[in-house]
Amino acid sequence: MRRALRVSTVCLLLSACAHAPSTPQAPPGNTLTGVMKALLETLEADGALAGAYVVDARTGEPLFTHRENVRLLPASVMKVVSTSATLSALGADFRFVTPVTLEGSQVGGLFLGDVVAQASGDPSLGSWRFPETALACDRIAEAFQARGIHQWRGSVRIAGTDGVDGLMGPGWAWDDAAYAYSAAPTPFVFRENVVDLALTRAPGSTCADAPSVQLTPTFATLSAVVRVDANAERTNLSCMRGGQGVRCTWRSPQGGPCPQSAGVKLAVDAPQELFAACVDDALARKGVTRLPLTLEAPTSPMPPVPVPLVELTSPPLSELVRVTNKESLNLYAERLGMRFARERTGQEGYTALRTALAAELLRRGVPSKDLRPVDGSGLSRYNLATPRGMARVIFTSLQEPYGPALVDSLPVLGVDGTLAGRPTTPATAGRVRAKTGTLTGQKCFVGVAERPNDVEHPRVVFALMLGNMDEGTKPNANETFDVFSTALVELPLH
């Protein structure tokens, strides 16, 4: 009862002072410090862990602290570390370039040989998110036409993928492996290493009837086996890695309504096969005939060097970072982190990434006790960070040329990305940008906030990290952030 009363009091105080004029000193309940101390202590009394750190964005002066040295799982706010490091090393205008060459010989309108793509680590190659990347296979087919090639006998190959780490990062959960959010950060990425699975039932079908299965794109090579369970406790669609493909179960409750459709994005382990199928599809649509490898064909000397066909170029790094942080894309964060590691160490892989990030954090004055990075996305349960360490990453980024690009990549409260659904007030609208992070029982928020009524500290950097949260914790993590973000913008500090 006492805990519920305290939360209610905090929220009432915040509501009452939401539009009050700012004063140098105010009663404790009407200040950021007073409201947040009460709220975080309430969470801790319920068994949660809570840490917060707020600093002036220009000077780094601490303005509010609460267990700022507690180490928790940063989850997806780790993306701020990897994306800021990549921006620092490569610059906001950097673009990935994937060269595609022909290795063989052309006899009139017939090409004998292979199409070879050099893996560049571009996470956006073939992605539907950008016009320039979605048409990658069509550009290859158009380049065939431009060379007068009407028939082709050969294969699609990927070069530059030797000596790769395991497909999953250290500390990733094995039961996440089937899903798009856990797609493997392979050196060659195509269509974000994802295909879409859609299930539908014909009118009049029962929940025990097998559904029709549709993969998108239609040339996808993923093997998906779907079974139904009509006696489950609730409706859901879950998938697991199995053999060479994915096994899914479509569940529905006995006697309950029978779902007519469902869909899920699935990860593929062999993006090179997806790319090859895409190239074949594009060539066929452009009228280039693929001859079977078993067919006898005229031979001629192979050229001594590959012949350039086309270069597939990514959007600028600033745009890749923007979708990474706005939409919390794990694959993008991992691939950007690997490119940063290669820039700094000459190698890719998680060992190289940890070495490179540790050196970058040391350069910024962030000690290992405040931030221990293991991967680039935050999927790893081995990452550790403190609110002080995470705030320091944002603060130091603001002092460097790429700072505006990083801030622009953060979701805007109530507007877009992972904060699109959060409520705002007239004062907070457009004034809070934050990367969110979520793992089971963990929730983190790291970003910047504008304080229009505070001449001395008009802009602040903040980190709020919560752990040991469950479905019964009141207020929940999002409600806690709502109070925190409103107080950051509207209330005096002390």
- The neighbour count for residue 206, using CB atoms within 10 Å, is 10
Residues in the chain with pLDDT values less than 50 = 1-26
The confidence score (pLDDT) of residue 303 equals: 59
The confidence score (pLDDT) of residue 29 equals: 66
Helices 330-345 and 317-327: crossing angle in degrees, nearest 10, is 140
Contacts of 367 (CB under 8 A, 6+ apart): 361, 389
What pLDDT digit, counting tens, does each position of 201-234 carry?
998 888 899 999 999 999 998 888 999 999 998 9
What pLDDT digit, counting tens, does each position of 77-92 carry?
999 999 999 999 999 9
The confidence score (pLDDT) of residue 296 equals: 61
The confidence score (pLDDT) of residue 301 equals: 55
The confidence score (pLDDT) of residue 156 equals: 95
The confidence score (pLDDT) of residue 214 equals: 94
Q: pTM of this prediction?
A: 0.91
